[in-house]
Amino acid sequence: DRTTGTTTGTTTGTGRASAAPRWTTHEALQQWIEEVVALTTPDRVHVCDGSDAEWTRLTDELVATGTLLRLDAAPTSFLARSDPDDVARVEDRTFICSRDPRDAGPTNNWLDPDEMKGILTELYDGSMRGRTLYVVPFVMGRLDAEHPMFGVELTDSAYVAASMRIMTRMGATVLRELERAQASFVPCLHSVGMPLADGQSDVAWPSNETKYIVQFPEERMIWSYGSGYGGNALLGKKCYALRIASVMARDEGWLAEHMLILKLTSPQQEVHYVAAAFPSACGKTNLAMLEPTIPGWTVETLGDDIAWLRFGEDGRLWASNPEFGLFGVAPGTGWDTNPNAMRTIAKGNSLFTNVALTDDGDVWWEGMTEEPPAHLVDWRGEDWTPDADRPSSHPNSRFCTPISQCPVLAPEYDDPRGVPISAILFGGRRRTTIPLVTEARDWAHGVFMGATLSSETTAAATGRTGVVRRDPMAMLPFIGYDAGDYFGHWLDVGKQADADRLPKVFYVNWFRREGAAGDGGFLWPGFGENIRVLKWVVDRLEGRAAAKDTPVGRVPTYGAIDTTGLDVPEERMAAALRVDRDEWARELPQIQRWFDTFGDTLPSMLRDELETLRARLTG
């Protein structure tokens, strides 16, 4: 029996006489598991098959250990409360360990790979004692893709194994294919870093104060230690599908991006696929599932976080979503703001982390309904009433749910080729300066927009929130190599195709506010009304909407955005779209400083774009 076995067993069902049990016929995988078992000394090894029975067993066990609470009101869904110190990605503990520090670039933490392996090998030594090592064979994207993108996560967290079943295609079918082809895979090693001594009882959320999230780009390998949360621990997501995949993409001529993918159908039945890059917790999930407020338009979802873009034979960029689930920010998700996410969750089979619990055994978070319930148990497990001066749910609390349950999932989600992209949107969270929507003049100008993208920080990463930082292509924490080289790669991608086949690039900002300091109310209602901006984008693609050329790009002329039935006064609309020379005069030195951090890896084309912008603004 290869699916279970103690690490001290002698011979297994495959009959091979050996010190270690035989877990797989994949030679490299078998050997790697043996090495990890020898180093981390788990009590048991379990090779995940991805079955329903396994899900039931895992979640039952997690309920028994107190990690999960079964929701009485939704018995196929569960609530987890993390350690209060393990609630978000830890960017300052995240490393790109390339051989040459230059290849990590100025935006990543770097340490020599051998040195890092030394540190982590010491931490992993005995780190799984008293626990089960779960072997999670998975594929990012589809198993029937031309080149399936395999990974195997070895983790001592049942919560991670269960979450990986929602977020990736995993289990026995993947392992069989790995074995048949003796295919290469990205090894992803994860330990929460809390071994259990004999008789020591476990805590609900094991983790370690010391945390490392480490990518070895040349070896296509990931080592993670100390955290059980989200992108720190579900290694198929940010670590593989963005950091490692971005390096593969650079080497192979494609793009791995932090983008949602949506399908837009106009009243004339024109279909356009749009990819959009926003930083974490800036509304990607909401836009991906938007419910249009204007008649005749349809939005369907293909993905809410990650897009892999490759050129098709037609010379267009085709995007596919490598993930199998949604890991969305809970607060702010409600029947008003994102009814499709609510419908997805309502079908059950979901893991919630760090949200509040209602008295009748359901979940609640800020923004789910207008009025909070009279009593809750908050994300730390404490009593909560509406007069409390703290939120009931952590601002980075999450729902983890199968994407197949999304009622507006586009049928093309299941097409291994993906979908041809007509437009790319870049967006951030900015109170001032950035207009509601701006169209790039050409690909290079679009790359400049992406490279200078900025946003106020959110709770998705630990650290201060609300501080403006440059977040190029919304990829700042996810670029697996030198960011200057990454911009160069984007420019090269533009040279691989005819200009008229490339997606058109737009820069959006749903978050601009009233007042010179941007401290007033939002100028634009956002959410479902964003369809009006998407409509302008489609009308531009179809050559029927007006735009005026400004120093920063093309913005809608007065009246070009359809505001029928919307209560946004003319002045507010003008303010949302304004290109303010004073604001941009303050922006230029910030962009200059940002570019100066790169030295000679910054493509000269981007410096030229900055000079063009400067000249246009002062001209």
The binding site for substrate consists of: 89, 229-231, 280, 396-398
Which is nearer to ligand SAT, 226 or 230 (by Cβ)? 230
Partners of residue 402 on adjacent β-strands: 325
What would the x/- binding string for ligand SAT be over residues 197 to 216, using CB under 6 A?
--------------------
Please identify which residue in the block is written with the tokens 């697996």. Answer: 480
Please tell me the distance from the alpha carbon of residue 559 to that of residue 155, in angstroms, as a whole number: 55
User: Which amino acids are annotated as binding site for GTP, given as ranges?
Assistant: 281-286, 398, 429, 527-530
Which is nearer to Mn ion, 36 or 88 (by Cβ)? 88
Element (H, E) at 187: strand 186-191
**Minimum distance, C-beta of residue 416 to Mn ion, in the bound complex (Å):** 23
Which is nearer to ligand SAT, 476 or 560 (by Cβ)? 476
Strand intervals (E) in 192-339: 212-216, 221-225, 255-257, 259-265, 271-277, 298-303, 307-311, 317-320, 325-329
A 10 A CB-CB count for 129 gives: 17
Q: Which stretch binds ligand SAT (CB under 6 A): 33-41, 199-207, 230-238, 248-256?
A: 230-238
DSSP string, 426-469: EE---SSSS-SEEE-SSHHHHHHHHHT-EEE--TTBSS-SS-EE
Number of residues that bind ligand SAT (CB under 6 A): 8
Exactly one of 305, 439, 456, 609 binds Mn ion (CB under 5 A); which one? Answer: 305
**77 is a site residue for Mn ion (CB under 5 A):** no
Which is nearer to Mn ion, 107 or 280 (by Cβ)? 280
**Minimum distance, C-beta of residue 231 to ligand SAT, in the bound complex (Å):** 2
Query: What DSSP state is assigned to residue 9?
Result: -
**460 is a site residue for ligand SAT (CB under 6 A):** yes
| Of residues 387-416, those binding Mn ion (CB under 5 A) | none
Please tell me the distance from the alpha carbon of residue 480 to that of residue 490, in angstroms, as a whole number: 14
| Of residues 84-103, those binding ligand SAT (CB under 6 A) | 89
Nearest C-alpha neighbor of 45 from the set 202, 165, 154: 154
Is 97 considered catalytic here?
Answer: no
174 touches 29 (CB < 8 A)? no
**81 is a site residue for ligand SAT (CB under 6 A):** no
| Partner interacting with residue 231 (select from ligand SAT, Mn ion, none; CB below 5-8 Å by kind) | ligand SAT
**Minimum distance, C-beta of residue 258 to Mn ion, in the bound complex (Å):** 6
Which is nearer to ligand SAT, 211 or 532 (by Cβ)? 211
**Minimum distance, C-beta of residue 228 to ligand SAT, in the bound complex (Å):** 11
Handedness of CA 13, 18, 24, 25 (dihedral sign): negative
Strand intervals (E) in 16-156: 44-47, 68-71, 74-80, 94-96, 132-140, 149-155
Which is nearer to ligand SAT, 474 or 493 (by Cβ)? 474
Catalytic residue among 48, 97, 188, 282: 282
| Partner interacting with residue 445 (select from ligand SAT, Mn ion, none; CB below 5-8 Å by kind) | none
**323 is a site residue for Mn ion (CB under 5 A):** no
C-alpha count within 13 angstroms, C-beta hemisphere, residue 4: 2
**280 is a site residue for Mn ion (CB under 5 A):** yes
**238 is a site residue for ligand SAT (CB under 6 A):** yes
440 touches 540 (CB < 8 A)? no
User: Which amino acids are annotated as binding site, given as ranges?
Assistant: 89, 229-231, 238, 258, 280-286, 305, 396-398, 429, 527-530
425 touches 317 (CB < 8 A)? no
**Minimum distance, C-beta of residue 89 to ligand SAT, in the bound complex (Å):** 5
| Of residues 320-339, those binding ligand SAT (CB under 6 A) | 327
DSSP string, 472-487: GGG-TTT--S-HHHHH
Exactly one of 280, 320, 344, 401 binds ligand SAT (CB under 6 A); which one? Answer: 280
- Which residue type is seen at 171? G
State the residues that interact with ligand SAT by CB under 6 A: 89, 230-231, 237-238, 280, 327, 460
Q: Which residues are catalytic?
A: 282
